[in-house]
Amino acid sequence: MITRGDIARIGARLAERAGDDPPAVYDIRIDTCGLEACDDPARLRHAQHQALFRAYQGRYVLLPSADGPGSIVERLNRHYDPEEMGRLEAMRSGLEAELIGPLMAKAAERAADLDIETYVAGLLPELRGAAGNPFLDFLADHPERAHHYRNFLIQSSADLLAEASASALGVVGEFGAPQSALFRILIDEFGYGVHGKKHSVLYRATLRDFGLCDEYNAYWPLFDTASLELHNAIHHLFQNPRNFFAQIGFLLFAETSYQRSTAQHFRYLSRFHPGVDARYFGEHAHIDLHHTAMVTDEVVGPLVARFGAEVGREIVKGAELTRAVFDRAGSHMLAVSEAFDAAAAQGLATYGVPEAGGPPGRCVTPATARDGRVQVGGLGVLTEARAFAVFPPDAIGREA
Ligand SMILES: [Fe+2]
Ligand SMILES: [Fe+2]
Structure confidence by residue, pLDDT tens digits, 88-132: 999 999 999 999 999 999 999 999 989 999 999 999 999 988 888
pLDDT value at position 149? 98
pLDDT value at position 335? 98
Distance of CA 253 from the midpoint of ligand 2 (Å): 11
Mean pLDDT score, 286-297? 96
Q: Please report which ligand is nearest the Cα atom of 295.
A: 2
Distance of CA 189 from the midpoint of ligand 1 (Å): 5
Q: How confident is the model at residue 264 (pLDDT cuts 50, 70, 90)?
A: very high
Distance of CA 367 from the midpoint of ligand 1 (Å): 37
pLDDT value at position 383? 95
Distance of CA 333 from the midpoint of ligand 1 (Å): 21
Give per-residue pLDDT as tens, 2-58: 999 999 999 999 999 999 989 999 999 999 999 999 999 999 999 999 999 999 999
pLDDT value at position 67? 83
Distance of CA 301 from the midpoint of ligand 2 (Å): 18
| b/e burial code for range 46-58 (CB count within 10 A of at least 16 → b) | bbbbbbbbbbbbb
Distance of CA 297 from the midpoint of ligand 2 (Å): 15
Contact between 47 and 11 (Cβ < 8 Å)? yes
Cα 84 from Cα 74, distance rounded (Å): 15
Q: Please report which ligand is nearest the Cα atom of 287.
A: 2
Q: Is the pLDDT of residue 241 over 90?
A: yes
Distance of CA 137 from the midpoint of ligand 2 (Å): 24
| b/e burial code for range 106-135 (CB count within 10 A of at least 16 → b) | ebbeebeebebeebbeebbeebeeeeebeb
Amino acid at 138: F
Q: By CB neighbour count within 10 A (0-12 exposed, 13-18 middle, 19+ buried), where does 371 fall? A: exposed
pLDDT value at position 348? 97
Distance of CA 325 from the midpoint of ligand 2 (Å): 18
Contact between 68 and 246 (Cβ < 8 Å)? no
Cα 236 from Cα 249, distance rounded (Å): 13
Which carries the bigger pLDDT value, residue 371 or residue 173?
173
Give per-residue pLDDT as tens, 196-225: 999 999 999 999 999 999 999 999 999 999
pLDDT value at position 256? 96
pLDDT value at position 164? 96
Q: Terminal CA-to-CA distance of the chain, rounded, Å?
A: 32
Cα 259 from Cα 281, distance rounded (Å): 9
DSSP string covering 67-88: --SS-HHHHHHHHT-HHHHHHH
- Average model confidence (pLDDT) for the chain? 96
Contact between 367 and 39 (Cβ < 8 Å)? no
Q: Is the pLDDT of residue 370 over 90?
A: no
User: Mapping DSSP to helix (H, G, I), strand (E, B) and coil, where does residue 380 land?
Assistant: strand
Residue-range domain boundaries for the chain: 1-94, 101-344
By residue count, the chain amounts to 400
Q: Is the pLDDT of residue 236 over 80?
A: yes
Distance of CA 206 from the midpoint of ligand 2 (Å): 18
Distance of CA 163 from the midpoint of ligand 1 (Å): 6
Mean pLDDT score, 355-382? 91
What is 101-344's CATH superfamily? Answer: Heme oxygenase-like (1.20.910.10)
Give per-residue pLDDT as tens, 147-167: 999 999 999 999 999 999 999
Amino acid at 44: L
Residues within 5 Å of ion ligand 1, judged at the Cβ atom: 189, 199
Closest CA to 260 of 66, 123, 140: 123
Cα 53 to Cα 15, 19, 224, 341, distances in angstroms: 14, 18, 12, 29
Residues within 5 Å of ion ligand 2, judged at the Cβ atom: 288, 291
List, in sequence order, every residue forming a beta bridge with 364; answer none if it has no partner.
397
Give per-residue pLDDT as tens, 188-199: 999 999 999 999
Q: How confident is the model at residue 357 (pLDDT cuts 50, 70, 90)?
A: confident
Distance of CA 3 from the midpoint of ligand 2 (Å): 38
| Tally of CB atoms within 10 A around 22 | 20
Q: Please report which ligand is nearest the Cα atom of 259.
A: 2
* For the chain, percent of residues with pLDDT exceeding 70: 100
Q: Is the pLDDT of residue 360 over 90?
A: no
Cα 148 from Cα 84, distance rounded (Å): 38
Distance of CA 185 from the midpoint of ligand 2 (Å): 7
Order the strands of the 349-351 sheet from edge to edge. 349-351, 380-382, 374-376, 397-399, 363-364
